[in-house]
Every structure is written in C-alpha cells, then in structure tokens.
Amino acid sequence: MANNIIIIGGGPGGYVAAIRAAQLGTQVTLIEKDSLGGTCINRGCIPTKALLQSADLLESIKHSETFGILVDKISLDFSAVVKRKKAVVERLVDGVTYLMRKNKVNVIRGTATLIDSKTVGILESNDKIKCDNIVIATGSKPSTISIKGNDEPDVIDSDQALTMDQLPKSIVIIGGGVIGLEFAQIMHRMGSKVTIMEIMPHILPAEDTEIARLLESILKKDGIDIFTSATVTGISGVEQNKKVTFTDKEGDNQETTAEKVLVAVGRSPCTDDLGANKLGLAMDKGKIIANEYMETNIPGVYAIGDVVGGLMLAHKAMEEGKCAVENIMGARNKMNYNAIPRCVYTSPELAGVGLTEVSASEKYGDIKVGRCPFIANGKAIIYNKTGGMVKIIAEAKHGEILGAYIIGPQATELIAETVLEIKKKGVFEDIASTIHAHPTLSEAAMEAALDIGGRQISL
C-alpha cells in the first residue's frame, strides 16, 4: 500500500522530493507558506543570476571594441533589469506550479507545524493532516550579525537587496562569501562603488586558498575594494550615508562610508513555528540533525536541504530530497557529499568539488597537483577571457582525483566532468586520456590532468 508523505517546504529540496515521491507511486502533500520554488527561485539562485547576466552583458558591451564592434552611448536601465529579473522568477515559479499539477501533488498554502510524527498542522486554518512520513524542507534565511548599528536604516540583507528599485551610489558588503561576492559584482558593474569586508584571511574561506586568492586579485583589479582579516565593529548614520568602522589585518581601527550596507554573512536554518522542540527533534545550533539517509532521530521524520546545514546549495537539497523519499519507499540510499559541486557565478566564475589542496594533503599526505592556466587555452583566448585556471588534485599512489577547482569562463559548467570522476572514484588518467574537442574550454581540464603526469602539451 502506498505511503502518504507530507513535505514541509516547496523549495528545490521540497518540490523535487514531491515529484520523486509521486513518480514512485505514493500520495504526497506539499505545504508551502510562501511562493513555490523557495529561496532559490524567489530570493536566491535565480534572481541573482539574472542580475549577474545583465551585469556581464553590460561589461561585455563596454569591451566590445576588442572584438571589432563599436558601440556608442552605453547606458543602464535598472528598472528594465529588475523587470526582466521578476519575469524570469515568475516563469520558473509557474513552471514549478505546473510540475505539481502534472505529478498530482496536493499543494497546501500555509504555515506547517509538527504536532506529532504522523500529524502536521496548518497554523492559519488549524487543520490537521495525517500521514505516514514527514520530510522537513523548510530552507534557510539570511543570518544577522551582533554589532552596534546592524538595525540601522539602509542596513539590508540579501532578500532586501533583491527588492531594491534603484542602485545605491556606494555600498559596503559585510561578508566575502558567495552571496557577498555575487552582489558585489552585480553592483560594481552597474555603477556602484563597492567595498567588501571579510573577517577571514581571504574571500571564500572554505575554498581552495590559491583559487580564492586568484579571484580576489581579479576582483580588486576590476575596482572592487576588498578588506580581508577585517572585523566590523559598528555601523552608524552619518549625513545621508552609513559609517562602517572596522579593524584591519594589522589591528588598526579604520572606517569607511557608503549609502547602504549589505550584511551577507551566510544563512541560518528556518525552524520558526515548526514545533521541532515539541516533537523532540535532535538539533545542533539551529539545524536539524539528519544522517546520511536523511533520517532524523524521530522514526518516519526526514529532513533535507538548508535546514540540516552543511552546504546550503539548491542541488544538494534536490539530491537529499530524492534520497529521502526513495528511502521512505524502501530503498537504502546514502548521500555522497564528496561529489557536490560548489559554484560562484561571478565573472570569472569559480567552481570546486571535493577537497582543497590543503585538506587533501592533510588527509592523504602525498598528493599531486596539476594546473592549466586559461591563457594557454585557444577557446579562452577567442573569448578574451584568459584569467584563471583549472586545478586538479590527486592522490599520489593511485592517482584518484580528490578535488578540482576551476576559475575562468564557464567554470560552473566545466566542473561537471570532475564531479563525475570524483563520484566514481576515478583517476586523473581518465581525464588525461579522454579526447576533448578542439578548441574548447574543457581542454584545460585535460591539460591539468596531463600536468599531473608530467605530460602537458599546451605549456
């Protein structure tokens, strides 16, 4: 007899779990208090990438003379940019709505709360819905910082940044992670003066140091001010601007001013109104604890996506959603967290998978590293995008690929080749011996693999 599954949250993890559950023949109800698509489609991945595309096209037009194309009177219509962003979001929300109908998923609009392991309540209507299994996919919200002035007017989070109808003349971004960097490039390329404050020694502190520092140098060269090892100590109003005080890497007190301040210090799991404590769900610093099968400590209750912490990525949530419902339906599948790509959609793009060079060395001892700079790649030269490289990290004895990093054009597309190799525990020779079309950007991955074996052709 088919199970009945209730999924709480209609973001990437939730709606993919709902579709997979329907494919497996069970009755499924999805509860969402806001718009289908969650943060990803409405306030994250999709709207930011739409804005980045507009910013990238504007930058390309500014440099069109390189390709023999002359363009006069370049200008930005930010209202039109915002209109297109909204249209992209609406189209994808409509797409998810269609998929729910197509797969006969029962969608309930409202705020879900856990009554017991077999019952979910709807706060707005006081309805109670019985089920056999529950999948919690409530996502995350922007994190805050505990400093004086963080509640000042014009101190905004990423959600609020996406609702702006005009660009600020200047902005300080607190946080040099993915969210901060993407907003930094959007605003910089559209004309705002941008300053980034990052508390760690380099931007993207969780990523490979060499690759992160390379992106940092490129962004600085483009005109974005970046302060690393910088601790923000306060925000205050000064005339029409905000004054941000901070200590720099030498420990000296510094200050800067800007029209707005964007706090981009990560995201926190959403468990408000969920009733997690009442149900007795095991928690750790606000996140729900789930094992590699996506099971919580309560039988029949699963949790996926941002609410369980770890990598807060849409595609990670999607895979966890599939894993959870397949296990509910009788499988015993584990999540493989080693083979999840991590992407930054700046220009140049940055993508990574697996271990960093430092972590690989610490774990395996003897490693080999191959690199291919895009300046040696014909397609990158044609694109006039030669900054960056492909870097592959392999275990020395057997050649198993432990990690890979790409900074350069279309890095977020190119990373898939190495993700597959890590998933199947492949060796660098698999990539080195695979014929890659010429001219393509993917040849750089082949050349990096050849470099590990001392057989690189292009350099």
Element holding 390 (H helix, E strand): strand 389-395
Catalytic residue among 202, 398, 436, 438: 438
Q: How far apart are CA 288 and CA 307, in angstroms?
A: 6
Residues 6+ apart with CB under 8 A from 94: none
Asked if residue 439 has a cis previous peptide bond (ω within 30° of 0), the answer is yes
Amino acid at 433: S
DSSP secondary structure code for residue 202 in this structure: S
Complete DSSP assignment for 58-121: HHHHHTGGGGT----S----HHHHHHHHHHHHHHHHHHHHHHHHHTT-EEEES-EEEEETTEEE
Q: How far apart are CA 28 and CA 50, in angstroms?
A: 32
Token pair 């992209």: residue? 88
Q: 236: phi > 0 → left, psi -120 to 50 → alpha, else beta; which?
A: beta
Q: How far apart are CA 130 and CA 390, in angstroms?
A: 51
Residues 6+ apart with CB under 8 A from 87: none
Complete DSSP assignment for 150-194: TTSTTEE-HHHHTT-SS--SEEEEE--SHHHHHHHHHHHHTT-EE
Nearest to 317 by CA among 113, 98, 37: 37
Q: Is 438 a catalytic residue?
A: yes
Whether 354 and 393 have beta carbons less than 8 Å apart is answered as yes
Nearest to 324 by CA among 5, 104, 40: 5
Amino acid at 284: D
DSSP secondary structure code for residue 305 in this structure: G
- For 266-317, where are the E strands, in sequence order? 267-269, 283-284, 287-288, 301-303
Q: For strands 342-344 and 260-263, give the pairing.
A: unpaired
Residues paired with residue 302 on neighbouring β-strands, in sequence order: 135, 295
| Residues annotated as catalytic (active site), given as ranges | 438
